[in-house]
Each structure stands twice: as C-alpha cells, then as structure tokens.
A and B are shown apart, each in its own frame.
Chain A
C-alpha cells in the first residue's frame, strides 16, 4: 500500500515540475553558451552544472572570474548568492528532517529554486502525507529538473554559438526568479522584503562583486522580520 502511494506521488511530482522546464531549459543552455564564450572547456562548464547545480551562483562565479576577481572574493560572493539555499534547507527541515541522514544528504544535493518551491507549497497543502510520501514527492519534482539542468547545459555548450538572438536567453533568469517570488508575496512583510530588496539592489548595483546583492538581501530580511513583528503586535 505504502509503496503504491509513494509511486503515485513520485509520478505526480514529475508532472508538477514539468512546466518549470520552460524557464530552466533556456537558463541551463545559457550557462553552456556563456561558459563556453568565457573560455571554459566542456569539462569545466559541466563541472559547474553537476557539482554546483545553482544557476545564479554559477553565473556570478563566472562573471567574477572574467573580471579577474581574487578566488576568495569569487567564492564568497557566489556562496552569498546561494545563502537563500539555507532558507530552503530550513523550510524543508520540518517536513523531511525525520528522514535517515543519507536521504537528507541526497535532498541537500538536489535543492534548487524550482523543486523547493513546488515541494514546499505542496507540503503546506497536503498535510496528510507521510514522511515517505513527502520524500517520494520531493524526488519526483527533482527528477525532471536536475537532469535537465545537466543535459541542457551540455546542449548549450554544443549548439550555443548558433542560438538565435531573439530568444533573449538572458531574460529567462529574472523571469524565473520573479515568477517564483510574485506568488509568494502573501503578506505585507513579504511585500516589504521584496520592495526593499529591489530598491537596495538597484541603488547598489554599481558596487563590484555583487556586494549590492548582499546589502539588498540582508536589508530585505531585516525589513521582512521587522514588519512581521509589527503586524503581529498589531493583531495581538
């Protein structure tokens, strides 16, 4: 019985994450194209996509490498971009934290924006799911997304130079991130955090090494936390 429901949820997870390929595919290809244009060989481009699997951090690291930034700055800045993954890890912990360590270790490798967003919203809705159900669903939503990230990076490397310009692949990144954020703006605190993030990121966009993003992210988190506190007091 348990096995049947897990299989069903894994399949449902696969179906639920398929639409996200619309954005992930051009984004993965773009990394293949940009990486190759920056002078990386095929092993290095694929190394990024398989070892790191985090689009924004990969692009950040690549850009800073091209600017000739010191290795420590490249690593710190790209890791700062990935700090949001700590939040994803924290948000998944109440749902998957009871799983054996090897399973949590696998989940940690697989966490990206898309599978986190789909799984976390499903867990809020489907409170009757068992631990095994939730794990099966997470693996399901990761099955199309993660291999597609590898495969389309490779395709980008191979056909990159011939991609038509009208595809505007560079625009896939902001569309992907904004399309995940906008439906998540459920409260005034979320809106405040997002607004502060946009304003600070634009104001400090001139700073090198994505320092502006760090300022924007920290300022936004503080704004969100403060507004939440004020709203709670108002309601209590």
Chain B
C-alpha cells in the first residue's frame, strides 16, 4: 500500500460515491422514473444491508471466522426486536444488550 495508491482510492471512491448519491436527486429532479427500475430500487436497502451484516454476524473476523454464539444470538435479537417493534432504537438496544449480557455471562 503506497501513499499514491491510497489517495487515488480515497479520491476515486469519494467522487464515485458522490455521483451515486447525486444520480437520481441531481439529474432526475422532478421527472418520473420507469416502473421496473423503481420496483427493483425499492429493495436495494433491505437487499444489500443484510448481505453486508450476515457474514459479519455468522463468520466474525474476531473469532477467525468461527461461529460465535454470542454474536449469532445478538444478531437474531436485533432482527426479531426490530421487526416486531418497528423501532430501530429498540433493535439497537436489543442487539447491544444481548451481546453485552451474554459476553458478561462468559459465553
């Protein structure tokens, strides 16, 4: 990892991320979008975020990729409480609380 490579990645990623964020709100503004595209985009958040989270919960780097019952239970608690309460805050409390309780209990 030399310095030039790192800065190219920072600036390239910054510009690319900005253009992705600007895409619709910048260019489309008020104009209507095709139905098929909207239909797919509606599931981008619920389709991508769990894909990032799942491997981190099931194969955590902290344990070298081995299944950790504490993280697994805390992950399931986050999803269950978030789904039932429809509250992000309670989901965070449930996930962090389960993790802390089981970790302190020494599991």
Contacts and interface: CB of A to CB of B under 8 A. Distances in A.
Contact of A183 (B7, B16, B33, B85): B85
A182 B14 contact: no
Interface of B: 1, 3, 5-14, 16-18, 20-26, 28-30, 33, 36, 38-62, 71, 74-75, 78-83, 85-89, 91-92, 95-96, 99, 103
A192 to B, nearest CB: 9
B6 to A, nearest CB: 5
Interface string A38-72: 11100010011001111011100100011010010
B10 A82 contact: no
B92 A85 contact: no
Contacts of B22: 89, 104-105, 108
Nearest to B28: A93
B3 to A, nearest CB: 8
A89 B43 contact: no
Contacts, number: 288
A134 to B, nearest CB: 12
Interface string A199-236: 01110010000001100110111111100110000000
A197 B1 contact: no
Given A44-B7, A52-B13, A86-B20, A179 B92 contact: yes
A47 B17 CA distance: 14
Nearest to A228: B39
Interface of A is mostly: helix
Contact of B71 (A108, A171, A179): A171
Contacts of B51: 197-198, 200-201, 212-213, 216-217, 220
14 contacts: A65-B9, A78-B9, A87-B42, A174-B75, A176-B92, A182-B78, A182-B88, A183-B86, A193-B43, A198-B50, A212-B51, A212-B55, A217-B51, A221-B43
Contacts of B48: 81, 83-84, 197, 213, 216-217, 220
A189 interface: yes
B46 A194 contact: yes
A113 to B, nearest CB: 8
Contact of B82 (A66, A71, A181): A181
B46 A193 contact: yes
A81 B45 CA distance: 11
B18 A108 contact: yes
A36 B5 CA distance: 16
Contacts of A213: 48, 51-52
A132 interface: no
B70 to A, nearest CB: 9
A107 interface: yes
A212 B58 CA distance: 15
B5 A111 contact: no
Contact of B47 (A90, A175, A220): A220
B83 A57 contact: no
Contacts of A20: 88
A83 B20 contact: yes
B18 A109 contact: yes
Contacts of B61: 170
A66 B26 CA distance: 34
